[in-house]
């Protein structure tokens, strides 16, 4: 019988057959907080109160309000799906009464802090759970509901990240009931989820809640991780929606009572939004109000320089073609037209924010000359544009984050470059990017997820366990779960390689592809170029 008792009450789940061997216990749609509605909108989440009787835990809970990926309908013309009542968690365990407690892996989903969920149509546990770990996934508030900030006590910001903190506290408190070890919790996430993981490494609210961390395809050192001027942008949004007051209480009442579909606005493509053209969604440096707990405060690079939580080992890295994500979100011809006329368009906003227009123009020219020495147009420079987007959006910040993480010799850091290529890679299925990379299978932002989870929407069928693709899946899932179990991703000799630790000088890494290969200095030429710019204009933002 799949029934457990946690502090809040009894849960009844299911016993599920795993296509890849054995069975596991599934408990889905467990509320870890009170619904963040009414007076709790924008506030820190409140723990779930106990219930009476047996609560069914066989269906995933509601996702956070977000834009739908499907065309509008008569019933839903505004493309909004989900619910404000979205703070649910899912637990999948190989055994709820094991001989000794099992390692726990808590997944934080990505989606630019605006879309996505932890539900099993994206993140089914079958591929990971076969290695003897408990998998936990969760939903948290997204978009303005999770990240609006007025710099006030009523709307201080970071609500979505505080949801994650409460979920981690819930896991720490309750995971023993599912057979898990509360002293051996690994958090892992990708994209905005990877950025979240990195913030948990430095947040004062998360000390003692986890033992290890895996930040995939993002870091809190990426320029888009922190929202700039959140109050000013919130005031602008209020005016756009019909509220012209600047009184804090009036603004709070306005936003608190606003219909949800007004808080899930139609926005510019992600890349343009992150360049500062519209309200950006991300973490904020919180102000102190009384004795309130702050998730994060100060300059993120200063906080990183002071060190992450001591003793937390980290895996971090990137996929070969991260920037393909932007090709899906940007109108290339328009972007190229803009950047030909205004080279400052190439300048990351964390640099641009601190410099004059003349300095921005000069840096933009340097970037343009480095990546597009033959000029820039949409037809002839896809390769240069992809290389630029890889670095500007993702890789430089990820490498910088790894340097900060490894600056404390009490923290081991393992760095990777993900290059697995198979029919599971999603770029050609979804983005239609064959014109950009013609000589190989692209390895896009998010492709690593296809080798960790049995995503039921994209690849619902069982994979042949004897094929080459499954060998790559087995390698990746084995390394991730080895890390969660032992702190060493390649402790298993069957992998045939020893993954060296990363340090700011040698920068050793593992290339995770169809073969496992060692390397050093990830994207060194590009990283050195960006280091030279930051050293001149924004030296506080580099790790060395």
pLDDT band at 541 (very low <50, low <70, confident <90, very high): confident
Report the share of the chain in percent with pLDDT over 70.
Answer: 90
| Exposure letters 441-470 (e unless 16+ CB within 10 A, then b) | bbbbbbbbbbbbbbbeeebeeebeeeeebb
Q: Which domain holds residue 106?
A: 3-337+339-485
Phi, psi of 114 (to 5 degrees): -125, -30
Active-site annotation holds for 74: no
Indicate whether 455 belongs to any domain.
Answer: yes
Active-site annotation holds for 34: no
Indicate whether 298 belongs to any domain.
Answer: yes
Phi, psi of 81 (to 5 degrees): -125, 165
Indicate whether 496 belongs to any domain.
Answer: no
User: Of how many residues is the chain composed?
Assistant: 544
3-state SS of 157-224 is CCHHHHHHHHHHHHHHHHHHHHCEEEEEEEEEEECHHHHHHHHHCCCCCCCCCCCEEEEECCCCCCHH
269 pLDDT above the threshold of 60: no
Answer with the residue of higher pLDDT: 340 or 197: 197
Mean pLDDT on 144-153: 96
What separation in angstroms does the CA of 228 have from each of 56, 234, 253, 285, 482? 42, 11, 23, 9, 38
From 26, 62, 64, 191, the catalytic residue: 191
314 DSSP 8-state letter: E
* End-to-end CA gap in the chain: 55
Which region among 40-49, 328-337, 465-474 has the lowest average model confidence (pLDDT)? 328-337
Residues 93 and 133: their CA atoms lie apart, in Å, by: 7
23 pLDDT above the threshold of 80: yes
Residues 184 and 353: their CA atoms lie apart, in Å, by: 41
Is residue 57 a contact partner of residue 139, using CB atoms and an 8 Å limit?
A: no
| Strands 102-108 vs 180-190: parallel, antiparallel or unpaired | parallel
Task: Quote the number of domains for the chain.
Answer: 1
Please enumerate in sequence order all residues whose Cβ is within 8 A of that of 265, keeping only pairs 6 or more positions apart, or say none.
Answer: 144, 237, 279
Indicate whether 296 belongs to any domain.
Answer: yes
Residues 401 and 316: their CA atoms lie apart, in Å, by: 9
278 pLDDT above the threshold of 60: no
Indicate whether 537 belongs to any domain.
Answer: no
CATH of the domain at 426: 3.40.50.1820
From 322, 344, 392, 523, the catalytic residue: 322
Q: What does pTM read for this prediction?
A: 0.94
Residues 50 and 241: their CA atoms lie apart, in Å, by: 38
267 pLDDT above the threshold of 80: no
Which pLDDT score, from 0 to 100, does residue 367 have?
Answer: 92
pLDDT band at 379 (very low <50, low <70, confident <90, very high): low
């Amino acid at each position: 019988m799949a029934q457990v008792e946690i502090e809040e009450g009894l849960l009844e789940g299911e016993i599920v057959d795993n296509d890849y061997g054995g069975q596991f216990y599934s408990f889905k749609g467990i509320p870890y907080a009170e619904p963040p509605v009414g007076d709790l909108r924008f506030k820190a989440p409140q723990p779930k109160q106990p219930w009476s009787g047996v609560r069914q835990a066989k269906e995933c809970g509601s996702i956070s309000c977000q834009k739908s990926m499907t065309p509008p309908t008569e019933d839903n013309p505004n493309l909004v799906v989900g619910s404000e009542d979205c703070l649910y968690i899912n637990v999948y365990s190989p055994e709820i009464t094991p001989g000794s407690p099992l390692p726990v892996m808590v997944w934080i989903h990505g989606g630019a802090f605006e879309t996505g969920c932890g539900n099993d149509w994206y993140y089914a546990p079958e591929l990971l759970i076969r290695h003897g770990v408990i998998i936990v996934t969760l939903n948290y508030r997204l978009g303005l509901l999770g990240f609006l900030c007025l710099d006030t006590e009523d709307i201080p910001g970071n609500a979505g990240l505080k949801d994650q903190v409460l979920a981690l506290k819930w896991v720490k408190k309750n995971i023993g009931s599912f057979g898990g070890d509360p002293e051996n919790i690994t958090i892992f996430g990708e994209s905005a989820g990877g950025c979240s993981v990195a913030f948990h490494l430095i947040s004062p609210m998360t000390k003692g809640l986890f033992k290890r961390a895996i930040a995939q395809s993002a870091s809190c050192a990426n320029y888009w991780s922190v929202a700039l001027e959140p109050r000013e942008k919130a005031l602008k949004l209020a005016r756009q929606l019909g509220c012209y007051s600047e009184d804090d209480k009036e603004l709070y009442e306005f936003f608190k009572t606003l219909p949800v579909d007004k808080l899930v606005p139609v926005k510019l493509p992600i890349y343009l939004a992150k360049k500062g053209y519209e309200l950006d969604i991300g973490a904020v440096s919180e102000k102190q109000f009384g004795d309130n707990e702050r998730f994060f405060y100060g300059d993120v690079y200063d906080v990183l320089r002071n060190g992450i939580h001591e003793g937390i080992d980290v895996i971090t890295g990137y996929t070969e073609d991260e920037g393909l994500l932007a090709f899906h979100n940007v109108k290339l011809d328009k972007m190229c037209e803009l950047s030909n006329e205004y080279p400052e368009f190439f300048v990351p906003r964390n640099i641009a924010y601190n410099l004059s227009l003349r300095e921005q123009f000069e840096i933009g020219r340097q970037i343009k000359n480095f990546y597009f020495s033959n000029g820039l147009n949409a037809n002839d420079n896809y390769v240069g544009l992809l290389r630029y987007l890889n670095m500007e959006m993702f890789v430089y910040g990820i490498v910088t984050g790894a340097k900060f993480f490894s600056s404390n010799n009490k923290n081991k850091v393992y760095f990777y470059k993900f290059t697995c290529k198979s029919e599971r890679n999603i770029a050609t299925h979804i983005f239609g990017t064959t014109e950009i990379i013609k000589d190989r299978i692209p390895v896009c932002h998010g492709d690593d997820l296809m080798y960790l989870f049995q995503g039921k929407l994209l690849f619902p069928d069982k994979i042949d366990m004897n094929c080459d693709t499954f060998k790559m899946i087995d390698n990746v899932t084995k390394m991730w779960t080895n890390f969660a179990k032992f702190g060493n991703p390649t402790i298993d000799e069957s992998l045939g390689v020893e993954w060296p630790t990363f340090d700011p000088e040698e920068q050793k890494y593992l290339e995770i592809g169809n073969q496992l290969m060692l390397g050093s200095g990830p994207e060194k030429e590009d990283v050195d170029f960006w280091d030279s710019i930051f050293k001149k204009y924004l030296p506080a933002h580099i790790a060395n």
